[in-house]
């Protein structure tokens, strides 16, 4: 189901024409689509949003994660054959605690489990920034990162029915029912077509949106996790 079709269908449920979704030059359906999708991605880790990419980390100034990164899953560095190898990585607070544990004159704040090191170095994350510890001048490491990511915001061309190449992906292939019912609930705040406790009317389809999201999550989980064996 295309985004443009979701927009038209939502307009029909709200007893509106699709062009009425644009107010003062702002496409409210497009705004709603982006907001309900981002809200779902903020509250859930979808397997279909997992991405791998390289982050150049300078030995002194560090590096930065792509703005699309939501949650870092794991990191590694590539060997001479391009294979991703595990490295030690942590957050700033945990890195300090590891230093306390390694220094026999300092009592560890939280004694960590055994750790493995890559050439005695580790990568330290703070927000979207990543540093190499200890700092190493004249060195740049391409850090391989796997992360849950945010989908880029959809644009006006994605909801244009005349566009031959609109967005196509899991959100429209498997999540279209969630998007539809969620934007109906979202836009109902403006048009109030669904009103609680009003005779002859229906309540907002919030339960349909919740059910559609639960179905999407079940499908997403079955891609990798359900009844799968990850070890040898």
Q: Residue for token digits 């700033």?
A: 92
Residue 197 has what pLDDT?
54
pLDDT digits (tens, 9 = 90+) for 4-46: 999 999 999 888 898 889 999 999 999 999 999 999 999 999 9
C-alpha–C-alpha distance, residues 232 and 229, integer Å:
8
Residue 82 falls in which region: left (phi positive, over 0), alpha (psi -120 to 50) or beta = left
Tens of pLDDT, residues 67-120: 999 999 999 988 888 888 888 888 777 777 766 666 655 444 444 433 333 456
The percent of residues in the chain predicted with pLDDT above 70, rounded, is: 80
**Per-residue exposure over 8-17, b if at least 16 CB sit within 10 Å of its own CB, e if not:** bbbbebbebe
Q: How many CB atoms lie within 10 A of CB 156?
A: 10
Q: Is the pTM of this model over 0.85?
A: no
């Amino acid at each position: 189901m295309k985004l443009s079709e979701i927009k038209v269908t939502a307009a029909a449920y709200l007893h509106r024409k699709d062009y009425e979704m644009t107010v003062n030059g702002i496409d409210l359906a497009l705004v709603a689509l982006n907001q309900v999708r981002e809200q779902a991605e903020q509250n859930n880790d979808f397997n279909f949003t997992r991405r791998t990419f390289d982050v150049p980390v300078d030995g002194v100034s560090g590096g930065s994660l792509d703005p699309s990164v939501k949650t870092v899953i794991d990191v590694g560095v590539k060997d001479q054959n391009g294979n991703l190898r595990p490295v030690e990585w942590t957050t700033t607070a945990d890195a300090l605690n590891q230093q306390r544990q390694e220094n026999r004159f300092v009592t560890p704040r939280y004694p960590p489990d055994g750790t493995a090191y890559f050439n005695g170095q580790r990568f330290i994350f703070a927000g979207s920034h990543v540093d190499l510890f200890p700092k190493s001048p004249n060195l740049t490491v391409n850090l391989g990162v796997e992360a849950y990511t945010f989908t880029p915001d959809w644009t006006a061309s994605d909801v244009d029915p005349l566009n031959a190449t609109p967005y196509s992906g899991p959100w429209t292939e498997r999540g279209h029912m969630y998007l539809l019912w969620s934007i109906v609930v979202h836009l109902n705040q403006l048009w109030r077509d669904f009103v609680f406790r009003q005779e002859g009317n229906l309540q907002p389809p919030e339960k349909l949106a919740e059910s559609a999201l639960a179905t999407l999550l079940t499908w997403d989980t079955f891609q990798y996790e359900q009844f799968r064996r990850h070890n040898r």
